[in-house]
Structure 1
């Protein structure tokens, strides 16, 4: 007697009763319904076989195989062969595609379809049909011999090519899968490349990585040749953009990819392609090897191709590596140069090959230079312009980058309202594209915001971020998260632990020549040392902070350092230095750091 399928709630109720329970886990119930589609027999069989919510166990049992195989085996030859083709096409399938793949005229084919429909093998879905249960399709595929399956995949691929002849790219993912299963290696590689590029264009990055990696796997089946190596190089370059968006340039996968691409260039006796130089440069940057990053940036600027896109990307590398070293003047020079050289007509190439828009990225990094130099108002304007551009682009990696650095700028400006807004936007973005290496920084900033709001769990969030930085190899921002941790420890009265974080941050800064934060690390150390009763050490640290900030032209950091020094160690000379500096600060007069300095100066000396 045919039974109608149960709905999801009734499936869960049946499963609970079979387990002698009142209810079952909601995730298990959802998987059970997805696996059985409400077929009562299948519910019983799957529960007997054992099923977990995480899809770690197969749900096609021997009894289910036997039942479904018998149903398919009872079909007339024409209907059974049509079911085989439909199974190869996948779910759902159209009459037009079946006609093209089988070569059967539509009237005869409709008779076979009606037979499948009457026997509840398939169900009508308006313009398409589908198997009444996915397990039917799985068993139909299992019943095909390898040779017959390859033959059908080839026929289906050819049918798709005919149906989508006006826009083959739109069907590239399906074509790639069928060519692959048909054993047609070279057409499959071509289709996977197109499908990967289309996935990148819509920020479907996991899908893009899967497509490009499958193309690389198939390349192993081709005989060695310069042509094969050139094709691999092109695919490696294409894979770089989505891979680094997901894993970061410092990941092991990105490192291996760009080193392999470099070796292919050498093997082919050709100049290293600009995307490879840029990828290697950012990998060096993530590893805090700033001089090497600068060399690769200069190589991009001087590349024999005279490619304006490469020159823009090279200036970006030179600018950010200079910033991390604490060379604000050179950072400004190169970042402004990249923005000036940017040509909007090349935007697509920047996004496809380099995974981000350089104008938006350089604007937000220039905003940090502005803040450190003492122009907080200009920094805020640039950061907002960068964010507006990134939002208009709706390019997720660019948006992630800009949001992260705009949030850092808000935190360092002590603008907690703006920081909360940006972190809220980042949380929404995480649902569209989780970027693990930037999320580590975001976690520390959320912890800092919690600390500033008096939440006791904020320090734990920063601690987790620091730990993840070490585990995941996200070393570029480790000094910054350690600074946040030290500040948070200080606010909690944990002075010894705070100074330990500072010592680690200073040690990293010295070893890596990462000087952009050194003045602020010394300032916070001075504050913590003073509160610990170590006046001499505090004075030495604050002196270091003032000297370093002055040398770097970091007016904002010098303002903070001089304020701390004058506040802890009243001295007329220091007050005069602070007063002179305050006169040169063009904006940010409503921010806490500036107000604290002017309030101190207004007190009797």
Structure 2
């Protein structure tokens, strides 16, 4: 009757027929005036009734829009169910990569925590919120910013204080990602090994997948490619499609995608450029099927890096725009920075030197802004490579000096070390400044490549040394070594480096 009167007075409008009708106020000011006219106790009572009615009779709304239920429980002063629904709302938003929305929901839940009297319940609620907060921050603010570390550190502290051992893995994995992207690889290795030991004790397949992923990624960054490949293969062997949601909830990334991409990079270094491309294509298929935008951005960007390793500037140029558009739309800062770097590299390789260098530097600044140092020496190497190609040798030396400072730091990234030494050799060689110094750096790079079993880098180094010997009119003495490394490849003969190596051997 009351609704009918309001409708006749044109203060509310009805859509549909009772009991399924939906009513809306004529104006927000009318709604607010009506709401404020109620006593606070009456408002709380009504919000509580609405929340309970939603739970009992509208399961579809509860499942699809938990933030509505969270709002009503919050306004009812029923803190515990309110926090539970804010957590569910945030996690649901995060699953579809709506991370800004997720962060808002988690913040609403965290604001209510002081109102929980039971310390154990309060700690558990905060632990779950902090872990989920860390996951979403990682996606849109960067994997290695301080607020990410704070969220995971606080979650781990709560685990230890309250004995929530079963919730330790997401917090430790989150801290591992923070250290990994910062290239603090000593701490990353310690955390990865702790994850492996804990997963083995717990005998949980989901934990094991994530633990071996962390170990494989860390070994890759340290330049131990064969060991990295073994750990990544182990992780993939335990992956199950039916557990994709569990992987995302625990780690905010899909190892079926992410592990394949890193294994693709490891395979390229180990001398399998075609296998590298195939496993990246598999990762792309998983990402596209999952319709998880963060996985799609990851797959598109890291696949570009493998094409860059293979020297395929035209492919990178063709595919980079779509990766950049997706990352910009979704606010994925880390992958946006890397996609810009790779598009810049492609531009520089295709003759647009100034434009390419500017874009690589723009991407590098974005990475530095989030303290993501893992790809610092790699990016400086791309800059130096472009400069050498365009005879900007002083610029090249400047970038390579910065990269060497990274390599000299304890526990920093080493996967691109051999290439940095090769580029130093190339800079001295091409500028004709000091051929002896060129040889020293090239030999140093060759030693590193062989220690790391980085056959693809070994090939590049052998070609550079061959060119040095050719300049000294002694190419014949080095031809057998170039022939030996070329002959050790079983695939990838259409890739840039193998084509160049074959041309050198043929010309001889």
Instruction: Give 3-state SS (helix, strand or coil) of 2:178's partner.
Output: helix
C-alpha deviation, 1:470, in angstroms: 2.2
1:31-430 matches, cutoff 5 A: 107-115=1-9, 117=10, 121-123=11-13, 128-138=22-32, 140-141=34-35, 146-147=40-41, 149-165=43-59, 168-223=62-117, 225-271=119-165, 273-303=168-198, 304-430=201-327
- Note if 1:479 corresponds to 2:385: no
CA displacement at 1:110 relative to structure 2: 1.8
User: In 2, Cα distance between the equivalents of 1:600 and 1:394?
Assistant: 46
Residue of structure 2 aligned with 1:510, choices 399, 408, 411 = 408
**1:491 to partner: Cα distance:** 2.9
| TM-score of the pair, normalised by structure 2 | 0.91
Contact 1:169 1:195 (8 Å CA) reproduced: no
Residues 138, 572 of structure 1: CA spacing in aligned structure 2 closer, same or farther, 3 A cutoff?
farther
Pick from 415, 424, 445: which aligns with 1:545? 445
Select the structure of larger CA radius of gyration: 1
Retained in 2: the 8 A contact 1:406–1:422?
Answer: no
TM-aligned CA deviation for residue 225 of structure 1? 1.7
Residues 157-200 of structure 1: CA deviation (Å, up to 9, x unaligned): 34444541465333421111122123221221122122222222
Q: Deviations over 1:269-292 (max 9, x none)?
A: 453611122112111212212232
What CA distance in whole angstroms lies between the structure 2 residues aligned with 1:542 and 1:528? 11
Aligned to 1:7: none
Q: What SS does the corresponding residue of 2:24 show, helix, strand or coil?
A: strand
Relative distance call for 1:389 and 1:309 in structure 2 (3 A) is same
Secondary structure of the corresponding residue to residue 516 of structure 1:
coil
Work out whether residues 370 and 378 of structure 1, in 8 Å CA contact, stay in contact via their aligned partners in 2: yes
Shift of 1:469: 2.4
Question: Can you list the C-alpha shifts for 1:539-597, whole angstroms capped at 9, x where unaligned?
Answer: 21112122211221111111111111111322333221111111111112112211111
Give per-residue Cα distances to partners, 1:131-158, cap 9 Å, x unaligned. 4444544555566665554444334434
Partner of 1:594: 498
Residue 603 in structure 1 maps to residue 507 in structure 2 = yes
Distance 2:44 2:392 in 1: 67
Higher relative contact order (CA 8 A, sep 6+): 2
Q: Distance in 2 between matches of 1:282 and 1:171?
A: 30
Aligned residues: 494
Deviation at 1:245, TM superposition (A): 1.9
Match for residue 554 of structure 1?
454
Contact 2:328/2:336 (8 A) holds in 1: no
Partners of 2:192 and 2:218 within 8 A in 1: no
CA distance in 1, matches of 2:88, 2:447: 55
- The two structures have a TM-score, normalised by structure 1, of 0.77
Cα distance in 2 between the residues matched to 1:465 and 1:444: 5
Match of residue 52 from structure 1: none
1:97-141: CA deviation from partner (whole Å, max 9, x where unpaired): xxxxxxxxxx442232121x2xxx444555534344445445555
CA distance in 2, matches of 1:165, 1:274: 31
Aligned mates of 2:60, 2:268 — CA distance in 1? 52
SS, match of residue 223 in structure 1: coil
SS at match of 2:311: coil
Structure-2 separation of matches of 1:146 and 1:227: 27
Q: Distance in 2 between matches of 1:482 and 1:165?
A: 54
**What are structure 2's unaligned runs of at least 5 residues?**
none
Deviations 1:233-255 (A, max 9, x none): 22323333323222233121110
| Alignment equivalent of 2:430, drawn from 502, 526, 531 | 531
